[in-house]
A and B are shown apart, each in its own frame.
Chain A
Amino acid sequence: MIEAQAKLPGLERIRARFLDMLVERLGDIDRLCDPELSGLGPREALEQVQAILHKIAGTAGTLGMTQLGDTARNGENTIISYLGTGKPGNEAVYRSVAEFIILAEETLDAED
């Protein structure tokens, strides 16, 4: 987190809310990755995962979680590419989402 950002008085409060929402969002991604639970087709489910990752990528860095933001962005971009061109393939998409989930869980564990 850069020094100027650290001086924002409300940042800790927003960071705490972000982490609360991260728990919810991980639950949403988990549900979306299971067709039986989500009841959605693969494309629609991936679009929703992409939207969640997009939001996390847009805020995590500002809150001092740069690596989490970058990993979310990578997942988002992989899904966009896959939905648009069929590349880099289904397996790569799920690997990029899994990388994000693992890092997010580690982040949450470190905060406890």
Chain B
Amino acid sequence: MRILAVDDDPIIIELLSELLTVIGQHDVETAESAIDALKIVQNPAHKRFDCILLDIQMPGMTGIELAAKLREMPDYARIPILMITAMSDKTYIDRAFAAGATDYITKPFDIDEVRFRIKSAEQRLKDAGGMTRKIFSVNKLRQQTPATEKVALNEPVTIFDVDGVIDYFAFENYVTQLSRSSMFGSTVFGIAIREIDKLYRESTAFGFECLITDTSEAISDCLKPNNFLIAYAGNGTFLCVLEGGARPDLERLVDAINLTLHQMDLYFCDGRKLDFRVCAGQPQRLIWRAGKNAMEAVIAAHESAESEALKREKMLNDFWITEQAG
């Protein structure tokens, strides 16, 4: 891969150049500030980078600010951005993911960890171009391909321009990499769109995109001012991590999201009123669940939200059958 490594510490720059050359014979270019990095990527004479490593804490412009700027550039909207950070920088890590980072490497470096993270990024780049295959954006100008091809119902999608909403693969990296102590006070839960099969069948490609992006905006708005991250996992289900020990009152949250969606006054492309609701699954506390165990909690949250959506529809269906029979 062609990699740009940005860090204001010359020792880190030397270490990364050495490590990356040894572990994968990567073509590494370096910058000692975010401003220098911007000049490099904006220089038309430069060949595009496949992956960028960014130190979080740099004087002037931080790595988080640089990540956000890079995500605004079409060439760098999808590529892996790995943050370089000390273990203690949890709040910075949260902000970095919200700004578009896909993974992070902790300092001091462990060569095996760096190798694994870089190989994961390389694999993701080969499989899907860095992020999930499709990108939806509230700001349609940022979208790389017009919504003519309908995304598969079960496919995760990256949504841009909504506060706290990140790429699904980045979400997985975020959850699995958090240390056990960092998990303390974190809760993961799923929010599922009810009757998603029917809504999907009746939507155009563009209509489905709007349905997903509008729902993500409603969830994001209702989760404020908590510290949270959201990812769309496919099948009409959103996964949310709530930080800082906040215990979600999911009943109240779901009511607020449904009210927000109702107030958005949404329509299908053919002019029919789009009236739909969401529901939540069982929340899973991430306390002491590092690595694979954390991912199991995410999967449990996902399944719980989807089964809750099915249960609600079945209950509604049974109610109507009973009503008609009565």
- Indicate, yes or no, whether A interacts with B: yes
B86 and A59: CB pair below 8 A?
A: no
Encode B212-248 as 1/0 by CB contact (under 8 A) with A.
Answer: 0000000000000000000000000000000000000
Report A-chain residues with C-beta under 8 Å of the C-beta of B110. 2, 5, 62
Chain A residues whose CB sits within 8 angstroms of the CB of B133 once the complex forms: none
Closest to A3 in B: B111
Given A8-B18, A9-B18, also A58-B112 (CB < 8 A): no
Which residue of chain B lies nearest to A80 when distances are taken between CB atoms in the complex? B88
The verdict on A110 contacting chain B, using a C-beta distance below 8 Å, is no
A58 to B104, alpha carbons, bound, how many Å? 14
Q: Flag whether B11 is at the interface (Cβ < 8 A).
A: yes
Which of A5, A9, A54, A59 makes the CB contact (< 8 A) with B11?
Answer: A59
Bound Cα distance A5, B113 (Å):
11
Encode A5-43 as 1/0 by CB contact (under 8 A) with B. Answer: 100111100100110010000000000000000000000
CB < 8 Å neighbour of A14 from B15, B88, B108? B15
CB proximity to A under 8 Å, residues B65-110? 86, 88, 107-110
Distance between Cα atoms of A22 and B15 in the complex (Å): 16
Task: Give Cα A69–Cα B15 distance, bound, in whole angstroms.
Answer: 15
Q: Is the CB of B108 within 8 A of A17?
A: no
Contact between A14 and B11 (Cβ–Cβ < 8 Å)? yes
B14 touches A58 (CB 8 A): no
A69 touches B9 (CB 8 A): no
CA of A58 to CA of B14 in the docked complex: distance in angstroms? Answer: 13
Known A8-B22, A55-B11; contact A61-B86, beta-carbon cutoff 8 A: no
The winner among A4, A51, A62, A63 for most chain B CB atoms within 10 A is A62
Q: Which of A8, A54, A73 is in CB contact (< 8 Å) with B111? A: A8
Interchain Cβ contacts under 8 Å between A and B, 7 examples: A9-B18, A14-B14, A55-B11, A61-B108, A62-B108, A73-B88, A77-B88
Given contacts A51-B59, A73-B86, 11 further A-B pairs with CB under 8 A are: A8-B18, A10-B18, A17-B14, A58-B86, A59-B11, A59-B12, A61-B107, A61-B109, A62-B110, A63-B108, A77-B88
* A residues in contact (CB < 8 Å) with B: 2, 4-5, 8-11, 14, 17-18, 21, 51, 54-55, 57-63, 66, 69, 73, 77
Of all A-B residue pairs in the complex, the 9 with the closest CB atoms, nearest first, are: A61-B108, A58-B107, A62-B108, A10-B18, A62-B109, A55-B9, A59-B11, A4-B111, A14-B14
